Chains A and B, each alone.
Chain A
């Protein structure tokens, strides 16, 4: 079982719909990242969370540390939001420059 699980793996929706992508993890973490990857492209960091909720434009990310769960929401979705959304966690509670452990990603397609 992967340490970081995302659902759904694939999601197709119509423009304007409210989108939710879920991430569950099974290890202790110091931070959780939501990342966006376009086809053939590099990765862009959307959010980094250690508690609570963050909002940036039409994107909202929440995390529940006790339940080891995070969600990424997209309001008023648009075709340009089509991408792979990846949840990644940084393990542990202290220092050390550990890299990220990634989920497999959610492939989102927003149709006009």
Chain B
């Protein structure tokens, strides 16, 4: 089945140790999103790619970066994780930019920072 896959599902890292989260999709969608969801809070958009064009939200910390080497894969890099970065990280895709396009979500990666 076509889907959005996130690996790993659970990630534990140490304070300050770089970590990379992975998202892949078999939907051949042009747009990929990364959201951060802290405990008991709503998901918050970090950034998105439309094809190779990167769009960063104004309040996304510099500590967070992303790479999209090809249509199928998108990575979230956290350069120096702090305790406050512990959260669920959700990847989503949509076919293109039109407002009527549905977003498809992956299962998320839960990041723990020790």
Asked if chains A and B come from one complex, the reply is: yes
Q: With A41-B108, A42-B90, A42-B107 as given contacts, are A102 and B43 in contact (CB-CB < 8 Å)?
A: yes
Nearest chain-A residue to B51 (Cβ)?
Answer: A97
Q: Fill in one digit per residue for B86-114: 1 if any A CB lies within 8 Å of its CB, else 0.
A: 00001010101111101111111010000
Tell whether, in the assembled complex, residue B42 and residue A50 are in contact, meaning their CB atoms are under 8 Å apart: no
B79 within 8 Å of A (CB atoms): no
Q: Which residues of B contact A (CB under 8 A)?
A: 6, 30-31, 33, 35, 41-45, 48, 50, 55, 57, 90, 92, 94, 96-100, 102-108, 110
Tell whether, in the assembled complex, residue A31 and residue B100 are in contact, meaning their CB atoms are under 8 Å apart: yes
The number of residues on chain A lying at the interface, defined by a beta carbon within 8 Å of a beta carbon of chain B, is: 31
Kindly list 16 other residue pairs between chains A and B, CB separation below 8 angstroms, not including A97-B30, A104-B42: A4-B42, A41-B107, A42-B90, A43-B92, A44-B105, A45-B105, A97-B96, A99-B33, A99-B45, A99-B92, A100-B35, A100-B45, A100-B103, A101-B45, A102-B42, A102-B43
User: Which of A12-20, A72-80, A87-95 makes up part of the contact surface?
Assistant: A87-95
Tell whether, in the assembled complex, residue B42 and residue A99 are in contact, meaning their CB atoms are under 8 Å apart: no
- From the candidates B41, B100, B103, name the one contacting A45 in the complex (CB within 8 A): B103
